[in-house]
Chains A and B, each alone.
Chain A
Amino acid sequence: MIEPEHCTLIIERYYREIFSYCYAKLGYSYHSAEDCTQEVFVVFFQKHEKLEDTDNIRLWLYRTADNVIKTFLRKSPPAVSLEESAEAMNIADSGGFDDTDESLLDILGPDERKLLELYYDSDYGQRNEAAKRLGLSLPALYRKIHKIKKKLRAAGKRSADAIMDKE
């Protein structure tokens, strides 16, 4: 049996991880992921008396998350395919660049430029290889690329605002 104090530590340790998992499996629906994550831990608290410290709690939580997500999707199925959901498309499309400003890339450092170049000049397989050469995982590489793109978007927005102010 897992002690209640230990349960608190388990929540703090795995809550974010399980949320991310639910978020990914639920088509990037934040609130659905939040509901399912809470459900996973409620189930955990309901059954913690039957679990042992020696059990693989992390694996147990993932398995429970799978079951909770299945139940959730059965009760409230998505109206459209998760991959084609407007929510996902909107998130991906948000913060476009102003393509009239060609000096934006100047704000990037050499490493950032190199990463961006690597990303756009290669396909999926090559990116994977490149990430390995850089000592990164593909998700880590993508996170860096995303940060650079965010930086470019912010700079582009500032530039557009400045032009508007001049006019």
Chain B
Amino acid sequence: MKKKAITDKLSDKNMLDDLQALLNEELAKPLEERDLDAIEKITNAMVDINDEEIPQPVPAEKVLAEAAARKKRHRIVLLRKWAAVLSACFALCIGLNFYTLRTYGSNVFEAMINMARSGFSIDTSQLRDIDPAAPVAASTTATTAGIYTTTTTVAATQVSGMFTTTVPGTYATAVTATNVPASTTTVPVPAGDSPMANMLSRCDEEAVGMAEEMLTKAETVGIYPCYPTQLPTDFGSMTCTDFHNEKLKDSNDCYFTFENSASKIDITVEEYYSEELLPNVLVPSDDDSYDIFRGKEISGFIMGDSRKCTAVFVYGNTVYTLHGSGVNYNELEVIAEGFVPYPSEFIKK
């Protein structure tokens, strides 16, 4: 035995191996079930057998200082991380903004808002850039000059072939609305060389009544709108069942409703006081699809189905929206394509 003890130089390692096995047994247990006292004894023995001395505890102040320094560094690192993230976001926004401006003509926030809503929006200022099928006559230009200063709302009466007089003034910001009794009879085509007769001479038989009602009623509130020159068969029986006018802060608006027993067409005319005020038109649609129609002198968008459809076009600073119920897509397209501008030479300055 004596000889064995003297020559066994690795016996320390054997002891360490045994202790390591014991430690592994404890560590194999879940943390909560470990015998920490046993672990302490085993590990202390390991230190002892290796002839090491356990160091003195580090002063609390030193540990505290290190912890405080780390917290500070952590805050700086966090700040840098946030700065990097914010910079990346900013760059992304700039990039997105650039993209949406080029693609959709609106900044990223407007584009997001538009996308979040159902349907889609149409930048009406872009509508003006669509070329019509036929060149615009030189005499028909945007109905802008002198018509924005009207504030007096004149109750319209049914006047055939005549212009009513509007009183120039300044804008009123408050909304004023005028309801006009709807005509129930078909207006005869005026004769002679009057402006009205001249304008109605461009209309087919079906469209004369609607055109005259629109022109007459709109003029009473200082609007010189585009008017229809063609209607599908059987639409000539449509009569104006509602008309009213609203003068808003940015625009002077007219609302017409024409209907017969089978169909109804709502026409909205929004005359904006300047090009910059032209809004986007939000079109709620289940399928975001639309077509471009090219009329005689105006062009625009048309969308819808066999039961309901909507056409939108812009002339000058005026946005026209035609909404048909019981009017199919092709019928509304015929109506929209037939709109022509109010001749500029007849506009009362």
Indicate if the CB atoms of A38 and B58 lie closer than 8 Å.
yes
A17 to B66, CA, bound (A): 21
Indicate if the CB atoms of B58 and A59 lie closer than 8 Å.
no
Q: Answer yes or no: A72 CB below 8 A from chain B CBs.
A: no
Name the residue on A nearest B3 (C-beta): A99
Indicate if the CB atoms of A45 and B63 lie closer than 8 Å.
yes
Indicate if the CB atoms of A102 and B31 lie closer than 8 Å.
no
Indicate if the CB atoms of B22 and A120 lie closer than 8 Å.
no
Chain B contacts of A101 at CB under 8 A?
6
Q: Answer yes or no: B55 CB below 8 A from chain A CBs.
A: yes
- Chain B, residues 1-37, CB within 8 Å of chain A (1/0): the string is 1111111111111011111111100000001101010
Chain A contacts of B45 at CB under 8 A?
139-140, 142-143
Q: Answer yes or no: A79 CB below 8 A from chain B CBs.
A: no
Q: Answer yes or no: A32 CB below 8 A from chain B CBs.
A: no
Query: Which of these, B9, B21, B48, B56, contacts A143 with CB under 8 Å?
Result: B48
Query: Which of these, B4, B34, B55, B63, contacts A11 with CB under 8 Å?
Result: B63
Indicate if the CB atoms of A20 and B40 lie closer than 8 Å.
yes
Q: Answer yes or no: A104 CB below 8 A from chain B CBs.
A: yes
Name the residue on A nearest B71 (C-beta): A46
Closest-CB distance, A43 to chain B (whole angstroms): 8
Using A23-B52, A145-B15 as known contacts, say yes or no to A104 and B6 having CB atoms under 8 A apart: yes
Chain A contacts of B276 at CB under 8 A?
none
Indicate if the CB atoms of B19 and A152 lie closer than 8 Å.
no
Q: Answer yes or no: A149 CB below 8 A from chain B CBs.
A: yes
- Tally of B interface residues using CB under 8 Å: 53
CB interface residues, B 252-302, toward A, < 8 Å: none
Query: Which of these, B10, B20, B34, contacts A24 with CB under 8 Å?
Result: B20
Indicate if the CB atoms of A137 and B41 lie closer than 8 Å.
yes
A16 to B41, CA, bound (A): 12
A29 to B18, CA, bound (A): 18
Chain A contacts of B49 at CB under 8 A?
142-143, 146
Name the residue on A nearest B6 (C-beta): A97
Query: Which of these, B12, B57, B63, B64, contacts A92 with CB under 8 Å?
Result: B12
Indicate if the CB atoms of B40 and A42 lie closer than 8 Å.
no
A102 to B55, CA, bound (A): 37
A72 to B108, CA, bound (A): 47
Closest-CB distance, B14 to chain A (whole angstroms): 8
Using A21-B39, A38-B63, A59-B31 as known contacts, say yes or no to A149 and B2 having CB atoms under 8 A apart: no
Indicate if the CB atoms of B51 and A15 lie closer than 8 Å.
no
Closest-CB distance, B36 to chain A (whole angstroms): 6
Q: Answer yes or no: A88 CB below 8 A from chain B CBs.
A: yes
Q: Answer yes or no: A4 CB below 8 A from chain B CBs.
A: yes
Q: Answer yes or no: A8 CB below 8 A from chain B CBs.
A: yes
Q: Answer yes or no: B162 CB below 8 A from chain A CBs.
A: no
Closest-CB distance, B19 to chain A (whole angstroms): 6
A99 to B312, CA, bound (A): 110
Indicate if the CB atoms of B55 and A142 lie closer than 8 Å.
no
Q: Answer yes or no: B54 CB below 8 A from chain A CBs.
A: yes
Indicate if the CB atoms of A120 and B23 lie closer than 8 Å.
no
Using A83-B20, A91-B51, A120-B1 as known contacts, say yes or no to A23 and B10 having CB atoms under 8 A apart: no
Closest-CB distance, B34 to chain A (whole angstroms): 8
Closest-CB distance, A145 to chain B (whole angstroms): 7
A139 to B54, CA, bound (A): 17
Indicate if the CB atoms of B32 and A59 lie closer than 8 Å.
yes
Indicate if the CB atoms of A139 and B50 lie closer than 8 Å.
no
Indicate if the CB atoms of B18 and A142 lie closer than 8 Å.
yes
Indicate if the CB atoms of A4 and B5 lie closer than 8 Å.
no
23 A-B pairs with CB atoms under 8 Å apart are A7-B60, A11-B57, A16-B44, A17-B44, A21-B39, A23-B52, A24-B43, A41-B58, A45-B60, A46-B70, A59-B31, A88-B13, A89-B13, A91-B50, A99-B6, A99-B7, A101-B6, A117-B1, A120-B5, A120-B11, A121-B1, A139-B42, A149-B12
Interface contacts beyond A11-B58, A142-B19: sample of 11 additional A-B pairs, CB < 8 Å, sorted by A:
A23-B46, A23-B47, A24-B20, A62-B34, A91-B12, A99-B7, A101-B6, A138-B18, A138-B22, A140-B41, A143-B45
> Which A residues lie at the B interface, using CB under 8 A?
4, 7-8, 11-12, 15-17, 19-21, 23-24, 28, 30, 34, 38, 41-42, 44-46, 58-59, 62-63, 66, 83, 88-89, 91-94, 96-99, 101-102, 104-105, 116-117, 119-121, 124, 127, 137-140, 142-143, 145-146, 149-150, 152, 156
> Which B residues lie at the A interface, using CB under 8 A?
1-13, 15-23, 31-32, 34, 36, 38-52, 54-58, 60, 63-64, 66-67, 70-71
